[in-house]
Structure 1
């Protein structure tokens, strides 16, 4: 093992400053283009009066939910701000900058989430109106430009924040950006969990009572949960996913800048990681503009073509940039050296071509995105064999549908994880044996993958906008015939694009977490040199995988992913149970609902979803933040390294399994609803509805939330590493203080989990539940 060399002081030359200023200008261009796309969307007709009324109700519910969520999260943000101030840093300016950057990262993440929700709720009725006039291409363009707006905001604000910090703090920028990335990741995780609980509680409740029990169609206005279901699509899929991809963008940039300064120093370490996403802005604009179906071709084919074209342009431009900006000989860097920090380790000089390696790393990241796009589409698309196999098992009942979907998810996790592993190993070999350079190339691959993030966000937002458009059309009753068929097609394409973008988001999370893992090692190295000097053998021994502390850490890290997933799914179960009882109550107490003489109480269901989702936020969030603290201060930096490794490995497998199982179940239902295997109203349809209901919290709550989870835990580890070393080996070493911190963190986790488990998973008191079930 050849760990990281000492980091020399990094500065910005006048040429580097000019590059950063150009990057700032490109970030502003992205924000301007987002405004242009938004204006194009809002210029379209909002539809009939009935459509506008329903769309307004959805927008009002979504805005109210996010407003209450942000007020709740504001408390966490204030607490985190002061905790960051308490952590050690080189000087007071860096400490203050890191805390302020945390607030900006959180605010940017929240702003992008709100923008995604707000515009999506305005676009869905416009897509429905375009379909009502038989204009499929216009509907597709509106939905994709909506996503393009959010994509431009994502890349623009992410690049703007990182470039400003680099321009202001220069060599200290990586330390300050730790706060920026932590703020973005923490807010994204909360929005993912809260939005996921909201949307799936409403969706599951609406399906179980409306489609399975009452036998009415999806999005039927007689179902009191339909408005909440549409609200949930926006606060979960639009707001949550936009925040998720923004924090992936921000965190990957943070890791690339930290590792770039360690690996390259002044030779592009602070500028090249900014150039790659700046190229991505330009290619994203291209990708959004060229997305249109040719002569009635399948919408998914048109979207995929735009993705591949923009990815190809980004690859070529990134290779050119690498050879222009970076040196082609390691000797120009004084030889990239990794000082041996294990007992008896020796320094080594690495003979590599930094420009060639960086170019190859970015291309690997882009190719990885393209391959995962195809692989995820294969396992979840309506035209693929695995999903059609799941649909065919509906002929033998819901049990076989559930089993086949689980099988698809498990199998797909293997292929996706192996693909990511191959990519990471290839990146390691590019480093020529230098660990720090290899980790920098991993971060660059993440940046390369994210050159496509503008188009990825557009693809993801396309899904909920199309879904909501179909819901508004169904509820208003103003769209039928060809228009209804157009919306069905767009909705099916949207299901696939959502699944694809979840797969890409998972790959991004793994690359970002791996790079942050390397940044954690860099932080440990610097802290050890300060506290211990050259006598480092006892420190590095615990990083060996054979050390029981590292193995224990791995087991705990993997277990936390399972616990986090279980808490999220249980939260959906509780909230969905409340929706089921409420919708049953309304059907029972208002018999006129079924013949349209009475109107359902939509607002009550929205309020239940809002209350329950916000109540369930705390436990997963506290687990993500305090578990690394408990392990790190209690068991040491080696155990914390094992913990992060266990969380990354388990997290990627779990996230892919959950996302692809859910995606396959969802599209299997669409296949049956399109008339295959008996069509709507048959036992086969009921079986796929149950499969989709099981898959909802898989693919839209627990699975996506794992992405920010593993990044939040890595960032927490990165931030606390110097404090752990200081309390373990430094002049101020104190075992009682260290164990006291670990004990407090453990008590917080246990208390949060106990409070969560005390909530009745079936909702309500037993006699009341029995009465409801008997009467219904």
Structure 2
């Protein structure tokens, strides 16, 4: 008991830390033990050892990729100013984050693999249990290290926790990059070569890419999703503590710890909520089953904060975290003054706040901010911010759910327009996806506007409220635990179509909730970066001082930071798209080879793990090194604009591409159900091609953008001390520019490595072949239509076109009394 009663932050914090750590350990143990106790059909064909081995292989590739960029990054953290002990702790915490990300992904594999052998009727009952165990373990793996760090480091835990979160974000980014190429290769194989070219069912065993599609689905919805949840939880908790302590003292630690513990409990409670409902109303059942625990969890955190926190700002425990004195020169004249001495004057000044505002300039803004903060009701503001975050997460998920549901206009319009060809169907989906992204951004901006009003416009207070809004979004993620893995369990052959549709829609919506929570965890870091810049010493010259402190919209440095952020987001996505094109094309060629006479009939994609390490080099290098390039190349004043552009741009692109992909993917199901021409029609062919396009956009941009933004925001916040110290400690400007050039050289080198992904041979000119490989040949049955020798190559081409047209007319008129059917033209005739 002495350990509790003598804890420097107070015995209530000690009990909170022990309770949250215990809850986290229980969740981790349950996630490791319970799935192995589930009843399985050991003879089920779905229980394939090769699936587990391939998932483990992909996880190894993700870990190798993360370490290749994470280890140099943690070595760079040793250069950030501070004591040697703190430098080692920061780097060690970042390494711990990388390892925790790998453990999170591994635990997800252990949860999902046992569900593969469940009978179709058992899958519905397994939805809640599997999802709850995976999400609870992922949240706990973020919560337990945070609790341990706070116990030992106490008020100094903020920066090490940001480094830990950066490590988890880097692993999540590496896992998503690895999984994205698996997604693209699998869909290219199954949909383009298997279903479109050879008219095989896209999920049938005789389609060589079908097994790869199932593997990619498990990777995306299991290990990668678990790593995402761990990274987002670590970022939200770290931001809440790092920024919260500076404003709300000890109570700034209590709220994130309580929120993290409740999130784990909510996820575990989901495991006992049945996901059955009425047959045919699966969408509503999943939505209601997720909404109830989300609202209860947010309500419980709000009620706890209202009861626990003092109603007056001066009642917070500042002394326990070293904030018992005012040190702002504007307030104290340069000498530290105890809070108790100035608080009576602050309370008197609150009555004259309007008059003070009219007399205050920018230099004395901190006086007004201090007076405004002392007038707040901490529990009320915390409760409202948590509620705002939960509402943002729920509203954005509903918007994505509407866009992804094949019963609604976006999916129907895309499927209908596919009847005219692939391009127009893709345009329809991109248009509706852009509308969804705009609506999601509008909801987020409105929520941030509410928090700005609540925080009275005080920058640090608003940042704290945004971090606590992230806690509300985190509780919604926990409440949706069942739907995070629902599609991995139910969206496969043998499940009922309504259940498959519902889980697929819920999966897209839950991904949007994660993206929004990540943004709410990253935005508070803007305040930490901005305050570090404002609090730094003046530069040695006008140019250096401008590059260090000028953060106004009229500043070229600030505008350059915004431009650099947009460039970073675009380069991350485009580098992945180029690699995806090559890997997808190679998968198509492998599938065609497998389907030739004497071919194996299976596609193993054996070199994929090696190729992904090369392909992921550029995006990871950009995420890690761009802050260094901007901070030293343009100046520290460019970093806030850079972060804002990266975070907002990542959210827009992520939601846009994810919504477009969900709409395009739903179009396949609509057409295969018999509408707009059905299987084998022009619309079906267009929908298959568009689905691969959607997969490429979602995998290369939608799933990558937000982890990349989260990683770069966290690394910038951890390294901001270096960016503001070197311009003021006499370090040569040429040395700083030299560091920026080295960072640029490293990014270029990584881009060269990514560009070394082999280009597949798609040329027709092959010397030892009489006909081009995989070429479509003219149907010999139409030879009686034309006779005579070929005069030249142009004549031959015209006759081939004529034969195809004649074959199409003959096929279209057969069985329809000569009436042409534009919607059900045969794919076989047009491909001869």
TM-score using structure 1 length: 0.88
Partners of 2:547 and 2:634 within 8 A in 1: no
- Residue 746 of structure 1 deviates from its aligned partner by 0.9
| Distance in 1 separating the partners of 2:441 and 2:126 | 34
Q: Does 1:92 align with 2:84?
A: yes
Change in Cα spacing, 1:741 to 1:683, as seen in structure 2 (3 Å) is: same
Q: Does 1:106 align with 2:115?
A: no
What is the match of residue 133 of structure 2?
149
What is the match of residue 614 of structure 1?
613
Change in Cα spacing, 1:76 to 1:435, as seen in structure 2 (3 Å) is: same
What is the match of residue 211 of structure 1?
195
| Distance in 1 separating the partners of 2:253 and 2:761 | 53
Change in Cα spacing, 1:318 to 1:60, as seen in structure 2 (3 Å) is: same
The RMSD of aligned alpha carbons is: 2.6
Q: Does 1:13 align with 2:33?
A: no
What is the match of residue 262 of structure 2?
279
Partners of 1:38 and 1:119 within 8 A in 2: yes
What is the match of residue 23 of structure 2?
26
| Distance in 1 separating the partners of 2:736 and 2:503 | 49
Partners of 1:206 and 1:226 within 8 A in 2: yes
What is the match of residue 232 of structure 1?
216
Deviation string 1:27-73 (CA, Å, 9 cap, x unpaired) is 12322443464245x3233453x333xx3222222222222432343
- Residue 386 of structure 1 deviates from its aligned partner by 1.8
State which of 276, 280, 301 in structure 1 corresponds to 2:284. Answer: 301
| Distance in 2 separating the partners of 1:322 and 1:529 | 38
- Residue 411 of structure 1 deviates from its aligned partner by 0.8
| Distance in 2 separating the partners of 1:450 and 1:609 | 34
Q: Going by fraction, where is helix more abundant, 1 or 2?
A: 1
What is the match of residue 4 of structure 1?
none
Change in Cα spacing, 1:633 to 1:291, as seen in structure 2 (3 Å) is: farther
Q: Does 1:421 align with 2:445?
A: yes
What is the match of residue 747 of structure 1?
745
Change in Cα spacing, 1:775 to 1:585, as seen in structure 2 (3 Å) is: farther
Name the SS for the 1:629 alignment partner: helix
Change in Cα spacing, 1:343 to 1:441, as seen in structure 2 (3 Å) is: same
State which of 39, 46, 68 in structure 2 corresponds to 1:51. Answer: 46
| Distance in 2 separating the partners of 1:246 and 1:265 | 26
State which of 69, 75, 86 in structure 1 corresponds to 2:68. Answer: 75
State which of 57, 66, 71 in structure 1 corresponds to 2:59. Answer: 66
Partners of 1:287 and 1:309 within 8 A in 2: no
Partners of 1:224 and 1:602 within 8 A in 2: yes
Q: How does 1:333-412 map to 2 (within 5 A)?
A: 333=316, 343=363, 345-348=365-368, 349-350=371-372, 351-412=375-436
What is the match of residue 714 of structure 1?
713
Change in Cα spacing, 1:539 to 1:602, as seen in structure 2 (3 Å) is: closer
- Residue 301 of structure 1 deviates from its aligned partner by 1.8
- Residue 541 of structure 1 deviates from its aligned partner by 4.7
Name the SS for the 2:485 alignment partner: helix
What is the match of residue 250 of structure 1?
234
Deviation string 1:196-243 (CA, Å, 9 cap, x unpaired) is 111221112221000100000012222332322222222233211211
Name the SS for the 2:710 alignment partner: helix
| Distance in 1 separating the partners of 2:571 and 2:515 | 19
Deviation string 1:139-196 (CA, Å, 9 cap, x unpaired) is 1222442222210111111111111110111011111112211110011001111111
Change in Cα spacing, 1:774 to 1:491, as seen in structure 2 (3 Å) is: same
| Distance in 1 separating the partners of 2:57 and 2:230 | 22
- Residue 446 of structure 1 deviates from its aligned partner by 0.4
Deviates more, 1:387-396 or 1:101-110: 387-396
- Residue 447 of structure 1 deviates from its aligned partner by 1.0
Q: Does 1:660 align with 2:659?
A: yes
| Distance in 2 separating the partners of 1:497 and 1:590 | 42
Partners of 1:380 and 1:499 within 8 A in 2: yes
| Distance in 1 separating the partners of 2:269 and 2:92 | 34
Change in Cα spacing, 1:726 to 1:230, as seen in structure 2 (3 Å) is: same
What is the match of residue 578 of structure 2?
570
Partners of 1:37 and 1:148 within 8 A in 2: no
What is the match of residue 263 of structure 1?
247
Partners of 1:513 and 1:714 within 8 A in 2: yes
What is the match of residue 335 of structure 2?
none
Structure index of larger Rg: 2
Partners of 1:242 and 1:457 within 8 A in 2: no
What is the match of residue 637 of structure 2?
638
Change in Cα spacing, 1:382 to 1:704, as seen in structure 2 (3 Å) is: same
| Distance in 1 separating the partners of 2:312 and 2:8 | 21
| Distance in 1 separating the partners of 2:717 and 2:421 | 49
Structure 1 unmatched ranges of 5 or more: 1-9, 471-483, 592-598
- Residue 337 of structure 1 deviates from its aligned partner by 8.9
Name the SS for the 2:773 alignment partner: helix
Change in Cα spacing, 1:384 to 1:46, as seen in structure 2 (3 Å) is: farther
| Distance in 2 separating the partners of 1:35 and 1:234 | 18
Partners of 2:614 and 2:756 within 8 A in 1: no
| Distance in 2 separating the partners of 1:756 and 1:555 | 23
Partners of 1:564 and 1:620 within 8 A in 2: yes
What is the match of residue 107 of structure 2?
115
Q: Does 1:317 align with 2:291?
A: no
Deviates more, 1:297-306 or 1:272-281: 297-306
| Distance in 1 separating the partners of 2:200 and 2:702 | 29
Partners of 2:382 and 2:468 within 8 A in 1: yes
Change in Cα spacing, 1:759 to 1:51, as seen in structure 2 (3 Å) is: closer
Change in Cα spacing, 1:337 to 1:406, as seen in structure 2 (3 Å) is: farther
What is the match of residue 734 of structure 2?
736
Partners of 1:283 and 1:452 within 8 A in 2: no
Q: How does 1:686-705 map to 2 (within 5 A)?
A: 686-705=685-704
Deviation string 1:683-702 (CA, Å, 9 cap, x unpaired) is 22222111211101222332
Q: How does 1:496-645 map to 2 (within 5 A)?
A: 496-525=505-534, 528=536, 541-590=549-598, 599-603=600-604, 605=605, 607-645=606-644
Name the SS for the 2:775 alignment partner: helix
Partners of 2:577 and 2:697 within 8 A in 1: yes
- Residue 771 of structure 1 deviates from its aligned partner by 4.1
Change in Cα spacing, 1:775 to 1:610, as seen in structure 2 (3 Å) is: farther
| Distance in 2 separating the partners of 1:540 and 1:573 | 41
| Distance in 1 separating the partners of 2:765 and 2:194 | 24
| Distance in 1 separating the partners of 2:580 and 2:564 | 24
- Residue 531 of structure 1 deviates from its aligned partner by 9.1
TM-score using structure 2 length: 0.83
Deviation string 1:252-299 (CA, Å, 9 cap, x unpaired) is 111111111111113x12222110121122222222321322242533
Partners of 1:412 and 1:657 within 8 A in 2: yes
Change in Cα spacing, 1:734 to 1:207, as seen in structure 2 (3 Å) is: same
Instruction: Name the structure, 1 or 2, with higher relative contact order (CA <8 Å, separation 6+).
Output: 1
- Residue 772 of structure 1 deviates from its aligned partner by 3.0
Q: Give the total of aligned pairs.
A: 724
| Distance in 1 separating the partners of 2:424 and 2:577 | 21
Deviation string 1:553-604 (CA, Å, 9 cap, x unpaired) is 101111211111111222221111111111111222426xxxxxxx52443x
What is the match of residue 826 of structure 2?
none
Name the SS for the 1:51 alignment partner: coil
- Residue 77 of structure 1 deviates from its aligned partner by 3.4
| Distance in 2 separating the partners of 1:612 and 1:172 | 41
Q: Does 1:221 align with 2:189?
A: no
What is the match of residue 677 of structure 2?
678
| Distance in 2 separating the partners of 1:641 and 1:108 | 29
Name the SS for the 2:670 alignment partner: helix
State which of 488, 492, 497 in structure 2 corresponds to 1:464. Answer: 488
Change in Cα spacing, 1:327 to 1:695, as seen in structure 2 (3 Å) is: same
Deviation string 1:689-748 (CA, Å, 9 cap, x unpaired) is 11211101222332011111111111121122111111112x343212211110101111
| Distance in 2 separating the partners of 1:407 and 1:338 | 53
